[in-house]
Amino acid sequence: MESGQHMLRTGRRGTLFEFSMALRDLVTSYHRRGLAWSLAWHDVVSRYRGSILGPFWITISMGLMVLGIGLLYAKLFGISVAEFMPYVAMGIVFFGLMAGTINEGCDTFVQASSMLSQTSLPMFTFIWRTVLRNLINLAHHAVIIVGVILFFGLWRVMDVFPALGGLLLTIVNLAWISMLVAIASARFRDIPQFVMSVMQFAIFMTPVFWKPDAFPDRHAFLTLNPFYHMLTTIRAPLLGQEADGLSYVVLAIMAVLGWALTFSVFAITRRRIVHFL
């Protein structure tokens, strides 16, 4: 075990050994979770230093978008505002979490290069930093969600626990995607641009601004889109609907396979990551 008192670094190789070292990194990051939290909190504070509203500026800009799109599209699509506005509000806020965690994941290691090259801090710490930072932002934007829930009286029909389950599954999945792009971006500097393009594309291909009513249930266009499953498991229960059980299954399977893949990539590249930077 790595502790503050004993450090051992060896040139030993072998798959099993690399995996145990990667696991040790993960465990150490858990023991030092306070550090990840401090870094994440500091990131948010320092980004908005000197600004009075701070992260709420993003909340305001999201709120404006919700208002504009909610009113305009409701008219264009011929849906009632009361039905469409909460739908779009949740779509924009939760997709913001997904896009933020994945896009910022690209910078995770690159940004931390000076710390990684002269301390023995666990690498997972920086992954948690990115994830926690985006959760702190989400907590600010939750104002919008609470607003539409109160305004449109959704508290009477919503089901919080399935939504929290969906959120948890989503975060677990976002974390591995974020880590995978973090490693890839450290090695290949084209990845951040590529990821950004994909996320830009995804926001239009995912039912964030539009309702998937035109598709029959479980159409491949939706079921093959992981962001659809993430969004629908959080949003549907909050709107008083039931999310398709398939979505929970897909997310659970994706979490297991995704983490297996990411953890393997990490185990193999771990000793090289600091040299990529």
Contact positions vs other proteins (CB under 8 A): 4-12, 32, 34-35, 38-39, 42, 45-46, 49-50, 114-121, 187-191, 194, 270-272, 274-276
* Residue number, 113 or 223, with CB nearest to other proteins: 113
Q: How far is the CB of 12 from other proteins (least distance, A)?
A: 8
CA distance 129 to 105: 10
Number of residues that this document lists for the chain: 277
Going by C-beta distance under 8 Å and a sequence separation of 6 or more, which residues neighbour residue 187?
269, 276
Q: How far is the CB of 8 from other proteins (least distance, A)?
A: 5
Structure tokens, 231:
């969004």
CA distance 182 to 68: 34
Q: What are phi and psi of 120, to 5 degrees?
A: -105, 30
Q: How far is the CB of 134 from other proteins (least distance, A)?
A: 19
Q: How far is the CB of 261 from other proteins (least distance, A)?
A: 19
* Residue number, 14 or 50, with CB nearest to other proteins: 50
* Residue number, 211 or 271, with CB nearest to other proteins: 271
Q: How far is the CB of 53 from other proteins (least distance, A)?
A: 17
Structure tokens, 130:
């990115």
Q: How far is the CB of 265 from other proteins (least distance, A)?
A: 15
Helix segments in 78-190, DSSP class H: 81-105, 108-111, 113-116, 124-151, 160-187
* Residue number, 113 or 264, with CB nearest to other proteins: 113
* Residue number, 81 or 274, with CB nearest to other proteins: 274
| SS3 at position 141 | helix
**Contact (Cβ atoms closer than 8 angstroms) between residue 233 and residue 247:** yes
* Residue number, 4 or 78, with CB nearest to other proteins: 4
Dihedral of CA atoms 202, 101, 238, 55 in degrees, nearest 10, equals: -110
